[in-house]
Amino acid sequence: MRSVSIVGLGWLGLSLARHLKNLGWDVKGSKRTHEGVEQMRLMRFETYFLELTPEINADPDDLTNLLSVDTLIINIPPSEYFFDPKLYVEGIENLVNEALLCNISHIVFISSTSVFPNVSANFDEESVPQPDSEIGRALLEVEQRLFELKDIDVDIIRFAGLVGYDRHPVYSLVRKESAISGGNTPINLVHFDDCARAIQLLLEMPGYQRLYHLAAPKHPSKVEYYTKMATKLGLNPPQFLCDEKDPQRIIKADKICRELDFVYQYPDPDEFI
């Protein structure tokens, strides 16, 4: 049976664990609180306590069990763990070193399109990242260190803004009291189901070192899209400030389609709800 450990069973990690388990994978995972571990175990997921401080805080036997798998999926956004991005990078490096000691053959790192700045451009996998945030710089440093590894399959997948089922940016936007800037800026979003299917594809077809973006191919403006979604949900539409100088930042994400025959189930963000 194919085995995988997901470090970080948050919203994305837990949904991914369910998806892979339904496909017959042996799925393990980690939480950074003991209460979280118990909640996952009640849901019948083999879960272990793991905290990066940035040193690894875990029972040695639990750590061995967690890392005794074919593939390690690292799903820890910087903001969830550390206010200091340097400590985040160090923590991920410590985790990867332990994984190598356990002879893991494949690492998948969940990154973000925040490695690209908020400027007018089309960014694909060949574009040189120039992060304009501390989180983006930390993610990029982890990516670079992972691609320095030898004799191990490494996949890095950069997600655009995640949407799925009970999660959609419009819910937070409609609560804002003041008008939101950047109304003419295109959206870059991706549905969870496409994320899960893309990761599944990477697990089934390891290929040494690969980098992919994942974002729905259609990019309506913020004002157009979120006004439409709010109306669809019966919410008062958020107010936007629109300027002809709003950045036209678009994430191009068709490389995975060309190389791995991936097909977006949700190519149009209008279909997310």
pLDDT tens readout for residues 115-134: 999 999 999 999 999 999 99
Residue 162: beta bridge partners? 190
Domains and CATH numbers, the chain: 3-168+189-219+249-272 (3.40.50.720)
Q: Measure the CA–CA gap between 121 and 50, rounded to whole angstroms.
A: 39
How many degrees, rounded to 5, is the angle at CA 51 between CA 50 and CA 57? Answer: 85
The answer to whether 126 and 259 have CB atoms below 8 angstroms apart is no
Encode pLDDT of 195-244 as tens digits. 999 999 999 988 889 999 999 999 999 999 999 999 999 999 999 999 99
The answer to whether 109 and 44 have CB atoms below 8 angstroms apart is no
Instruction: For residue 273, name the pLDDT band (cuts at 50, 70, 90).
Output: confident
Count the neighbouring beta carbons within 10 Å of the beta carbon of residue 131.
17
The mean per-residue pLDDT over the stretch 50-57 comes to 93
Q: How large is the C-alpha radius of gyration of the chain? A: 19
Q: Compute the mean pLDDT over every residue in the chain, rounded to the nearest whole number.
A: 94
Write down the pTM of the prediction. 0.94
Instruction: For residue 18, name the pLDDT band (cuts at 50, 70, 90).
Output: very high
